[in-house]
Amino acid sequence: MTVETVLNGYIHRDLVSNGPVVINLADAGNEASRLWEMAPPVTIRDARLLQADTDEGAFWARHGFVLLPHRSAVNDWESGGTTPFERNEIARIYLPEIEAIVRTRLLPGLALEVDQAPFIVRRGPGANAYATGIHNDYGLRPDDYQEALEAFSTPQYAALWRARFDRPQVAGFMVINFWRAIYLDQPLRHMPLAVCEPSSVTMETVVPAALAAFAPSGKNTNQLSLKYHQEQSWWYYPGMTRDEVLAFKVFEFFKDGGPEGLSICFHTAFADPETPQDAPPRESCEHRVGVFILRP
């Protein structure tokens, strides 16, 4: 199954900037609108076919994203955050489930510290809007990630992360986004998520960006936008169910140098033109997990 559609959020190919491109979503109809272009339609291909008959660990290592069978025991996806522990199913159930996936299925055999908080991002009716612009949530280097943490938390929390990262026993750090459909009693058809194959993205098309007036701290975020190129390869998993979770990298940095090229996944929700009119609105959540990779 393939989808031909236009994706929102491509930065104009002629745009030249000496620093992060500041995007104020509240002003999207004015100055910010000149940052973006209407790129040609792209083909979003069926990642189920790409992943078929491939070991999930090998697929993850090669592509930076993978669909995993996973039936969560969570029933109440609203119970994270500061909900008391005895009623907090995200803290009691989901965090241990995800840590087990990281340690045994994605990064087995490595010495790790898995850094989680009982917070998920809910999207759908009555929750956050769908993210319908191409983006990646963080920058490329530790300073970028620290700045992003400051925007969404506090300078003190960001400094604590940096102190952990700077320890000599830490070889690198990555952030994995675990994205899944929830509550729906049928396969997801409305506003699925597309991810871009990292190896198909050249650094010349990557644009440092910042969202203004978006983070709760009032500080600009630190993230990445993308210029269009015909070689970019987009994928999605049609018909995701509640018993599956999509894992994909949104940050990775190794102190001694990692694999050549980009290893993180630009992503966006998109409107599938083949979605039935009576398809229920997407109910989904995403959970971003930090992983410190320790030296042997």
Q: Give 245-294 pLDDT, tens digit per residue.
A: 999 999 999 999 877 789 999 999 999 999 999 999 999 999 999 999 99
Q: Identify whether the C-beta of residue 55 lies closer than 8 Å to the C-beta of residue 243.
A: no
In the numeric block, the tokens 């675990």 are attached to 178
73-107 tens-digit pLDDT: 999 999 999 999 999 999 999 999 999 999 999 99
Q: Is the pTM of this model over 0.85?
A: yes
- For residue 45, the domain's CATH number is 2.60.120
Domain of residue 73: give its range.
Answer: 3-294
Tokens of 156: 């003190």
Cβ-Cβ contacts under 8 Å for 99 (sequence gap 6 or more): 114, 116
Query: CA triplet 57, 60, 62: central angle to 5 degrees?
Result: 110
pLDDT of residue 28: 55
Q: Measure the CA–CA gap between 49 and 151, rounded to whole angstroms.
A: 38
Is-contact 176 287, C-beta < 8 A? no
Token readout for 264 is: 């993180």
Q: Low-confidence residues of the chain, pLDDT below 70?
A: 27-33
**What pLDDT does residue 203 have?**
95
Counted domains in the chain: 1
Instruction: Judge whether 172 and 254 are in contact, CB under 8 Å.
Output: yes
Which stretches of 161-255 are assigned E, i.e. beta strand? 170-181, 193-196, 206-212, 223-227, 234-236, 244-254
Spatial distance between the Cα atoms of 5 and 25, rounded to a whole number of angstroms: 23
- Residue 83: phi, psi to the nearest 5? -55, 135
